[in-house]
């Protein structure tokens, strides 16, 4: 690995928090007749296409909260929930603010924070990320979001924006993520990268291939392993 970074920037959905398990539990509690696993994946499946509508210019700049709501309204009829009230839709949409962290996250971040500046670099909006951090006790030094840069990852403005915020060269920033496409975007901008294994990101019925791939500076089982490899 090159010289240790000064800043660790963390992808959030899937890397820090278990979006699938959290959303599935919420929908099961509200509507036991609905397959929570399928509902969670269907909601997440709309994520990239919705952001692409913003990237292409079809939609103007739109917060993830609002994109989540667009996707939710589209999928409700597929699960027989088209009669859900407006207030219930608003409340359910806030489920993305209530995602639970993976078991290794809080202790791992506490270790990493002692030595490094730790921040988010998420497509989630600032309000969502702040509420999530408050609820889960995520000890960020700073919350950075696509909202700050008005661009969604993998736009270079997001990765290079972290370096600008902290006034360091890109090579002194490390992106920590569970998604190879995100890490590839960061590497192309000169950032260091650390891959985190999250085999259960899509649920136990859809295990993810987390085998090592070339290019990343670090390959880590979890945040504790990341802290070990960074000598925290």
Strand-pairing partners, residue 196, are 220
State whether 45 and 125 are in the same domain: no
Q: Alpha-carbon distance 152 to 82, whole Å?
A: 30
Angle between helices 19-30 and 86-93 (to 10 degrees): 150
Residue 100 has pLDDT above 90, yes or no: yes
Residue 1 has pLDDT above 70, yes or no: no
Mean pLDDT of 179-193: 97
Domain boundary among 53, 79, 97: 97
Residue 2 has pLDDT above 80, yes or no: no
How many structural domains are present in the chain?
Answer: 2
Residue that is written with structure tokens 């960020």 in the block: 140
Q: Give the pLDDT of residue 156.
A: 97
State whether 132 and 221 are in the same domain: yes
Residue 124 has pLDDT above 80, yes or no: yes
Looking at the domain assignment, is residue 200 inside a domain?
Answer: yes
State whether 109 and 192 are in the same domain: yes
Cα distances from 39 to residues 34, 76, 101, 152, in angstroms, run 7, 9, 20, 24
Confidence of residue 214 (pLDDT cuts 50, 70, 90): confident
Looking at the domain assignment, is residue 2 inside a domain?
Answer: no
State whether 148 and 184 are in the same domain: yes
Q: What is the DSSP secondary structure assignment for residue 4, as one 8-state letter? A: P
pLDDT one-digit tens code per residue, 36-79: 999 999 999 999 999 999 999 999 999 999 999 999 999 999 99
Looking at the domain assignment, is residue 88 inside a domain?
Answer: yes
Strand-pairing partners, residue 174, are 8, 192
* Range of the structural domain that residue 65 is part of: 19-97
State whether 196 and 142 are in the same domain: yes
Is residue 173 a contact partner of residue 163, using CB atoms and an 8 Å limit? yes
| 30: number of Cβ within 10 Å | 15
Looking at the domain assignment, is residue 1 inside a domain?
Answer: no
């Amino acid at each position: 690995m090159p010289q240790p970074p000064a800043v660790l920037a963390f992808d959030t959905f899937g890397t820090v928090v278990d979006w699938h398990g959290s959303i599935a539990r919420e929908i099961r509690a509200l509507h036991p007749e609905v397959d929570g696993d399928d509902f969670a994946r269907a909601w997440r499946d709309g994520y990239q296409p919705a952001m692409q509508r913003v990237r292409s210019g079809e939609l103007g700049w739109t917060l993830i909260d609002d994109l989540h709501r667009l996707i939710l309204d589209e999928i409700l009829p597929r699960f027989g929930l088209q009669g859900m009230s407006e207030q219930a839709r608003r409340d359910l949409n806030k489920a993305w603010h209530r995602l639970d962290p993976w078991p290794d996250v809080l202790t791992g971040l506490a270790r990493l924070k002692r030595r490094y500046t730790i921040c988010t670099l998420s497509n989630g909006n600032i309000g969502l990320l702040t509420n999530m951090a408050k609820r889960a006790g995520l000890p960020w030094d700073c919350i950075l979001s696509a909202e700050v840069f008005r661009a969604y990852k993998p736009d270079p403005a997001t990765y290079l924006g972290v370096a600008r915020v902290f006034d360091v060269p890109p090579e002194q920033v490390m992106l920590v993520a569970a998604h190879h496409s995100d890490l590839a975007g960061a590497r192309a901008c000169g950032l260091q990268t650390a891959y985190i294994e999250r085999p259960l990101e899509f649920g136990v019925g859809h295990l993810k291939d987390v085998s090592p791939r070339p290019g990343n500076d670090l390959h880590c089982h979890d945040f504790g392993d990341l802290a070990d490899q960074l000598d925290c």
